[in-house]
Each structure stands twice: as C-alpha cells, then as structure tokens.
Amino acid sequence: MKPRGGYNVPLGGRPGPEVEVLPDPDALHVPLAGRRLKFTDVRVRDGQAVRPGQVLAVDPERYDVPLLAPRAGRVTVTNKALVLRDLSQEQEEPYKGEQFDHAARAEAAGAAGAARRKLVDLGAWQFLRDAFSGQLPDPAGFPRAVVVTTMSYEPFSARGDVQVAKRLASFTRGLEHIQGLLEHQPIYLAVPAAKSELAEQVRRTVRGYAYVKVVTIPRRYPLDHPALIARRLGLRSRGGSIWSLGVAGVLAVDRAMTASLPSTVRIVAVGGPGVSRPTHVKVCAGWPIREILDACGAAGNVRVLMGGALTGEAWSPEDQPGLCGECTSLTVLRDEAPRKLFGWARPGWSRQSFSPHYVSRLRPSFTERLGTALGGERRACVSCQLCERACPAGIWPHLIHKHLLRGNVERAAALRLDLCVECGLCSYVCPSKIELLDQFRAGRKAIAGMAAEQDGQTREHARKEARQ
Amino acid sequence: MSLLLGLMGRIGPKFNRGNLRALRPAFDAIDSFLFCAGHRTDRAPHVRDPNNVKRYTLAVVAALLPIIAAAVYFFGWRIVAMIGVTYVTGLAIELGFAMFRKEALGEGLLVTSLLYPLILPPQLPFWMTAAGIAFGVVVGKELFGGTGRNFLNPALAGRCFLQIGLHADWSSLLFGTASASGVSGGCAGEVCSVLIILAGVFLVLAGVVNWRTILSLLGSFAILAGVAAWASPEAFGRPGWTPPAVAAWHLQAGGLLFGAVFLAADPATSPVSNLGKWIYGVTIGASTFLIRYLSGCVEGVMFAILLGNVAAPLCDKIATHVHLRKLRYEG
C-alpha cells in the first residue's frame, strides 16, 4: 500500500525538545482505569505504606498487567484512583521485581516466557499494542513481526527524538532485548523521512542489526500509525499478532531487562495554543495535572485534552485529578469560538484549511492558534470527498457514514470500516461538521460485537456437532 | 459589529419559546449568515477545520458572478429580476420546510437560485420562473430531505418541469438571441463560453467540483461528435469543417459547458466515488450526443444530466465493487 491521505494540522504551540523535571507534588492520584487497561483487582490496603515499583493493582482481564507504585508513600484507596500521600523525598530503592518468583516462571514457561513475564511484571508490557487492534498482545504468543515507531506526528504527542536523544545506547539495547523475545520474526524500525542528525545516528547504529529493517515514513499525520505501517509492509491482521511499540516502550524494555527496574517515569508532551511554555515534562502516573498545567503556563479559558488534538479526550479535573499512566501528552486549546461578521466569507489569509478554499494557500505553511470552534453549522453530507482525500486508510468515510446513518452496520463492515485507524482526520476536515470519528468508533464496536456473536454461534454449532 | 452581535445575542433567546419559536430556523439562518454559528466542539477531534458548507457554496457563487454579469450585459436587468423571483420563491418554500421539520435552513438554495435563472430563456415570464423553482425545490430536493440528500439537481428538475409540464415554448425563447464572437445562443447563463471555462478552472482549483466529471463528460461527447462528423460528414458534419472543428463547435454550443461545470459536477447529485464520476461523465456525454444527434430535441444536456443523476447510484455500485476488490488483501 502506498502512503496516502493524511494532513498536518497547523496547530501552534509545539513542545520544544527540552525535558523539564517538575518539583515533587504533595500527593499522586493514580487512576485505576485508562483507555485500555482497567485495574480492577486492587492489591493494597487503605493506609498501607508502599515502596516504588510495588504492585498496587492488576488488570485481571489483560494478563494481570500490574499498576506499579510510582513513588514510596501511603495509599488511600478510592473508587476511581489510588491516592499516594506522604511521599518519601529520598530516592528509595525500588522493587526490582523480587515480588515475583521469576525462577519458578522460567521453569514453567522457558527462558523467553519468563523474560516476557518479567516485562509484564515490571510495567514494560503495557507499552506494547497490537498494530491493528490496538489491544495488549498476549505475552505467551509470538508475533509475526514487530513495528517500532520512532516518531509521533499527532499534535502533540511526546516526540520520539526527545526521548531517544540522550539514550540511544539504551534504545539499541532495548531492540536487542526485543529480538531476544522472538524466534526469527523481523523488527521494522519506522523512522521519519527527514534528514536530521539524530535520525542518521539511529540509522547508522541499527545498520549492523540484520533483524532490524528500517522503514521510512513520510512526515504526515497519521502515517506513523502502526496499522498503516503494517499495511504498508504488506502485513495483515489475520494470521497472528503484530506487536508495535514506540521509543518509550523500547526504553522500558531495556530498563526491565538490563537493570530489572520498573518503568514508572513518563515523558509527557504539554503543548497547544493554550500554554505559554510548551515543553516536555518528566513525571509519573498520578501526577496532578493541574500542577503540570501551571508549570507550563496554561491560564484562562482553556480546554485540556488527554492525548493529541485529534484523538485526545477532554480532561475533567473532578473526574481525574491525576495523570493516567497511558497518557503521553496534554494538549491545551483555547476554549473559544470567536464570531466575526461574515467570517465564513472572508478571504482567509490567516486561516489554514485542508480544502483549497482559502487564500492562505498562496502562503507557505504556518501554525495557528486553533481553538475549540466547530467552524460552521452541522449539515447533511454533501459528498465533497474531502474525508476521502484525507483518509490515510483508503476507505470512503462519506459512504460508510451514510450506511451507518441508516443503521446498516453490515454494509459499513463490507465497506471495510475495520481498516479505519480512528485518526479523526475525516471529522476534522468535514465541512458539514459530521461527527464521523464518533460514529465510526460506535460502528467498529458494533461490528466487533457482531463478530463475537457470530464466533460464539459458530463455536456453539461446532460443539453441538461434536456432541452428535 | 459588536453592537450587532450583542443585538443578535439579546433577541436570540426570544425565539426559543412562545409564538416566535416557529421562526427559529429563520433567525438561526440570519444569525449564522452574519456571524457563523459560534458552536464549539464537544468530542474528539476537539479542533476542526474552518471550512464549512457556507464557504463551500461561496466558491460556486463567486464563480457564477461573472457569468451573471455577462447575462445582464447581454439580456438586461431582467435577469436580476428573475434571480430575485427565484430567491424569494425558493426561500419561502425552504423556510416552510425548515419550520415544519424544525431543522436548520440549508445553504443549497444560495447556489440553486443562482443556477436556475441562468438555465432559463431570458424572456420567460416571471410566474413560470416561480413555478419552476417551486417544483425544483419541493420535488427535486426537499421531499428527499434537503441539500445533500437530493438525488436530482433541483435547478434542472425545475427547468424540466417547465419544459415538459408547462409546455413552455422553449425554442422560440432560446434562439431569439443573436450569437456574437465568443458568445453562443442559448439560455441566460450559457452564452459566454470563455467565462464558463474560467469558472470551471476556478472551481476545480478550489476543490469544489471534481475534474473527472467535467473531463469525462466533455471528452466523451467530443470524441463521439468527432467520430460522427468523420464517419458521416453529410449527416453530422458541417460543410468545409474538419471533424475536430465540428466537435469543438458542439462543445461550446448550447448548455453543454454550463451543464458540465455547474450542474453535472454538483457533488450531491453526482456519484460519490472517483471511478463513479468517470462513468457518470461518460454516461452524460454519450446521452447528450444521442439526444442532440438522433432525437427530435433541440438540446439534450438537461435530460442527459437528469439521466446521469438517476444513474449515479449505479455508477457508484460499480466503483464500490472495484474499490473493495483493491482493498481485499489489505488489513
């Protein structure tokens, strides 16, 4: 598949390459549920003192992936979060995984199995996801390939170059450890199509690794999505999982395998037009989001997104005061929709658009202080095909939308809604302001439900036949 | 500006209840026409492109303005009066539907009401103009749900109604005008081919119309006309003209150019896929050729485009099949 579609949203406030270390907070509010993981099995008591790296809770439905204590402190258990107070100021020795019996596991699952379990126990496995489904891969299974992405094009995710800049040796060692988990499967290292010193250094370093194949990806959101990279490589979702992970994941693997240390530190990008000092910060799960925002100069009427501008969800201080461990960025937008007289009919010298209706097309690209304005009124689809042009997955969002609008999920599935990577570009460019991303998420869920039901029926049928 | 904005903000809530509630669509239409509705996003993606349907239709309106100016130059201010009649009638009907459905007033009428008078003979009586647009808006658009959900071009549906339903004396009205250099006989908007070509280039560059429809329509027609003139110069050619010259004359004659650029390429009533647009364009081009050459009709573009509109879902079906075959080994 050739790279197609995609668009770089001209959002201002891109975080710089520096990483700031913030002063320690008074308390950490570690959420028990993230986008993928739900830590329902809490393993600590109210008031218990914990050490860094100690298991606070696990996700029993996803291979017992643990939620590790980011710092030493005393736990208060609430419905939605574990609150760590009385945080120890001294750097206490973290758990090195001695809470798990690796020897017994090695005996049960072999050396590779034990190594994978170690990754799960030390919080590195959470960085892996299946390239197509986005779900956590099974630690017991083997992938068909591994896709390592070193870039993130969504405005604004934590940039790979920022994370790898000072830790290139750890990164390459992490790749070696990943290779050690595999049999003979290739590792595809996706690098941006850009001439930078760092990119060249990465290429030079991995040149000697026969199992690492470098893939160059054009610099356009969301062509860095693992599913699109996998499709480009001719890989399919059927016939086995394809693991994907980013730079943070590789570094976490190295930390776990080389030093047996848990991965609790996160580098989070804080950017967008709503902050005065866009930057990267070094924090951990549960860090009070308000403190991060204050440190970066977010003031006034702003909307904070957990995640990038296109796929992030709005943050509500009451629901989730602390940072989720899966969150890699905070995007801050100005929560405003200015109304200008005949705003829709102005030439648009300072407005950029995916469509060529604005005279800013005559200017070189520039960034904008985009807010949360919808930019128009909701209308019926006029079949302008802008979504089709923007779609990186090569599907026809306008046609799928029309079928989903009529409740025809089967037809939407036949039109390959499964290929959608939920990048949100179709919703972004739609002049009729149709919530395509929302509709497609619901549609994909319905299709998955139908498939599970069908699978269950088939299994039931097979069981009945076997009984006869 | 802030005074006006403040005034709109103050009187806006009055339309939420009581007797004025029924007029909410009218107020919203004026409010968003002046200031664009200040809605904000409520779900991902939280930032959006500034482009909207008003902006989209504005490009077509801008492309039509020089053609209207030319029509006024050739036929006088009566054209402006016809546009006025069309707007008033169309707006009244659309507003009625919007109030009945409690929905917002669409932007489609902005374009339809400019296109429709331009495909009428300039001498058409006003009552006929009003009757045509009423039919076009009601049957061609609103009964199917409004702009974007219509399958027939409302302007063409209105004109078709006049020609067939009211038996308007089309030929005498159409050819009552003299041709001049760069100017051909026909309806109000069809006379200045150069401006239509420029408008077409503008619309393609502005991304409003798809070049595939225009190219396939005009290309297929030109090839058929050229082949016909070459195969049977007595029947289909012109004395002393080469086949390409005959094809070129046919291209700029009548409503073909105007129809290709403004009516056939309307995204809502043409197929939604690129391959579908190729098939659709060839269908209209070939139908125009057949109607112009082999039927008793003077001008076949309108019927050909309406036929194309009806065939659009079929074109899409073929294109979807091809598209899905390409994707079958992916993902």
Mind listing the pLDDT tens digit of every residue in chain B (331 residues)? 788 888 888 888 888 887 888 888 888 888 888 888 788 999 989 999 999 999 989 999 999 999 999 999 988 899 999 999 999 999 999 999 998 988 888 888 889 999 999 998 888 889 999 999 999 999 999 998 888 889 999 999 999 998 887 765 665 555 544 443 344 456 788 878 899 999 999 999 988 999 999 999 999 999 999 999 999 888 888 888 888 898 888 888 878 999 999 999 998 899 999 999 999 999 999 999 999 888 877 678 999 999 999 999 999 999 999 999 999 888 7
Same domain, yes or no: B96 and B242: no
Question: In whole numbers, what is the pLDDT of chain A averaged over residues?
Answer: 88
Q: Which of B147, B173, B208 is the last residue of a domain?
A: B208
Same domain, yes or no: B90 and B204: yes
Q: Considering only CA atoms, which of A356, A335, A350 is closest in space to residue B51?
A: A356
Please identify among residues 262-321 of chain B the ones whose CB lies closer than 8 Å to any CB of chain A: 267-268, 270, 272-274, 316, 320
| pLDDT at position A452 over 90 | no
Q: So what's the ipTM on this one?
A: 0.90
Contact (CB<8Å) A348/B4: no
Mean pLDDT, residues A134-151: 91
Q: Three-state secondary structure along B84-96? A: HHHHHHHHHHHHH
Mean pLDDT, residues A149-159: 89
**B2 in A contact zone (CB under 8 Å):** no
For residue B238, tell me if it sits in a domain: yes
Instruction: Tell me how far apart the alpha carbons of residues A402 and A380 are, in angstroms, rounded to a whole number.
Output: 10
Please identify among residues 132-191 of chain B the ones whose CB lies closer than 8 Å to any CB of chain A: 145-149
Domain containing residue B273 = 209-331
Mean pLDDT, residues A372-383: 91
Q: A390 or A34: which carries more pLDDT confidence? A: A390
Q: Considering only CA atoms, which of B280, B317, B323 is closest in space to residue A391?
A: B323
Mean pLDDT, residues A414-435: 95
The pTM of the whole model exceeds 0.90: yes
Same domain, yes or no: B131 and B148: yes
Pick among B5, B52, B323 to test the A interface (most A CBs inside 10 A): B52
| pLDDT at position A96 over 70 | no
Same domain, yes or no: B138 and B213: no
Same domain, yes or no: B259 and B169: no
- A57-72 pLDDT, tens digit per residue, is 999 998 889 999 988 8
For residue B28, tell me if it sits in a domain: no
How many Cβ atoms sit within 10 Å of the Cβ of residue A84? 30
Same domain, yes or no: B132 and B187: yes
For residue B4, tell me if it sits in a domain: no
Residues whose CB is less than 8 angstroms from the CB of residue A134 and which lie 6 or more positions away in sequence, other chains included: A36
Both tokens of A83, joined, read 């609150």
Instruction: Tell me how far apart the alpha carbons of residues B21 and B3 are, in angstroms, rounded to a whole number.
Output: 24
pLDDT at B173: 58
For residue B12, tell me if it sits in a domain: no
Contact (CB<8Å) A341/B51: no
Q: Which of B208, B234, B252 is the last residue of a domain?
A: B208
Both tokens of B146, joined, read 């409004």
For the four alpha carbons of A289, A291, A296 and A301, in that order, the dihedral sign comes to positive
Shortest distance between the Cα of A84 and any Cα of chain B, in A, equals 31
Quick one: residue A433, left, alpha or beta (phi over 0 = left, psi -120 to 50 = alpha)?
left
How many Cβ atoms sit within 10 Å of the Cβ of residue A406? 10
Q: B226 or A166: which carries more pLDDT confidence? A: B226
pLDDT at A279: 93
Same domain, yes or no: B235 and B327: yes
For residue B11, tell me if it sits in a domain: no
For residue B67, tell me if it sits in a domain: yes
- A238-292 pLDDT, tens digit per residue, is 878 999 999 999 999 999 999 888 888 889 999 999 999 999 999 999 999 999 9
For residue B256, tell me if it sits in a domain: yes
- A105-136 pLDDT, tens digit per residue, is 666 666 677 788 888 888 899 999 999 989 99
- B260-286 pLDDT, tens digit per residue, is 999 999 988 999 999 999 999 999 999
Pick among A355, A422, A436 to test the B interface (most B CBs inside 10 A): A355
Shortest distance between the Cα of A53 and any Cα of chain B, in A, equals 34
Same domain, yes or no: B167 and B233: no
Mean pLDDT, residues A74-80: 90
Q: A99 or B54: which carries more pLDDT confidence? A: B54
- pLDDT bin (cut points 50, 70, 90) of residue A98 is low
* H runs (alpha helix) in A260-417: 289-295, 386-390, 397-405, 409-414
Residue that the structure tokens 């598949």 belong to: A1
Please identify among residues 77-136 of chain B the ones whose CB lies closer than 8 Å to any CB of chain A: 104, 106-107
Pick among A11, A225, A362, A377 to test the B interface (most B CBs inside 10 A): A377
* H runs (alpha helix) in B36-141: 53-75, 78-101, 108-118, 126-140
Q: Which of B152, B179, B208 is the last residue of a domain?
A: B208
Tally of structural domains, chain B: 2
- A388-410 pLDDT, tens digit per residue, is 999 999 999 999 999 999 999 99
Instruction: Tell me how far apart the alpha carbons of residues A424 and B153 are, in angstroms, rounded to a whole number.
Output: 31
Same domain, yes or no: B158 and B250: no
Percent of chain A past pLDDT 70, that is, above it, reads 94
Quick one: residue A194, left, alpha or beta (phi over 0 = left, psi -120 to 50 = alpha)?
beta
**Strand-pair category, A73-77 with A55-59:** unpaired
Shortest distance between the Cα of A419 and any Cα of chain B, in A, equals 6
Contact (CB<8Å) A418/B331: yes
Q: A79 or A428: which carries more pLDDT confidence? A: A428
Same domain, yes or no: B66 and B100: yes
Q: Considering only CA atoms, which of B153, B125, B53, B226 is closest in space to residue A386?
A: B53
For residue B261, tell me if it sits in a domain: yes
Contact (CB<8Å) A339/B56: no
Percent of chain A past pLDDT 90, that is, above it, reads 52
Residue that the structure tokens 């079928």 belong to: A403
